[in-house]
Amino acid sequence: MKCVSIRQPWASAILAGLIDVEYRCYPTEHRGDLLIHASSETTDWDRQQFVLFDRRGLRWDELAFGKVIGVVELWTCGHGHNGEWAWCLRNPRRVEPFAIEPGRRLFDVENRPVEVLAPARRTIGKVRQPAVR
């Protein structure tokens, strides 16, 4: 299965349904399920940006790092703003976290059973995203 590594808190925000576009410097032809790996790397900027999500059900001390934490459907990829590529995502599902050795860009993960967890029962708002061109 294909996988992409994303820093926190963005990986968890995608799986919480707060973000439905991931901006990358490269396009992809892949369509369908895509595993979300929460990178073990983080920066001060990531922590500062966390205020966008702290009142929407995410807590920094509950975020997973260095593990696959979910799966989404990558349904299209198009030109974003500022020359970036907008990977449009839908149907986020949390999975039982598991560790992998992350690759670069879009990488393959060995086929293995993935346990999809029951959806959380809380209502959360969406972070406004720019339109995709």
Q: How far is CA 94 from CA 60, 69, 71, 84, 106, in A?
A: 17, 6, 6, 26, 19
pLDDT at 121: 47
pLDDT at 67: 96
pLDDT at 55: 66
pLDDT at 51: 80
The candidate with the shortest Cα–Cα distance to 69, out of 6, 126, 128, is: 6
pLDDT at 120: 58
Q: How far is CA 43 from CA 77, 109, 130, in A?
A: 27, 25, 24
pLDDT at 122: 44
Domain ranges of the chain: 2-105
Residue type, 107: F
Beta strands in 1-133 (DSSP E): 2-6, 21-24, 32-38, 67-79, 85-99, 106-108
pTM: 0.83
The answer to whether residues 60 and 13 touch, using CB atoms and an 8 Å cutoff, is no
pLDDT digits 0-9 by tens, 73-104: 999 999 988 899 999 999 999 999 999 988 88
Q: Which residues of the chain, if any, have pLDDT below 70?
A: 54-56, 120-133
Query: Two tokens at 21?
Result: 């576009």
The dihedrals phi and psi of 48, each to the nearest 5 degrees, come to -65, -40
**Using CA atoms, how far apart are residues 44 and 67, in angstroms rounded to an integer?**
20
**In CATH, which of 3.40.50.720, 3.20.20.70, 3.30.465.10, 2.30.130.30 is domain 2-105?**
2.30.130.30
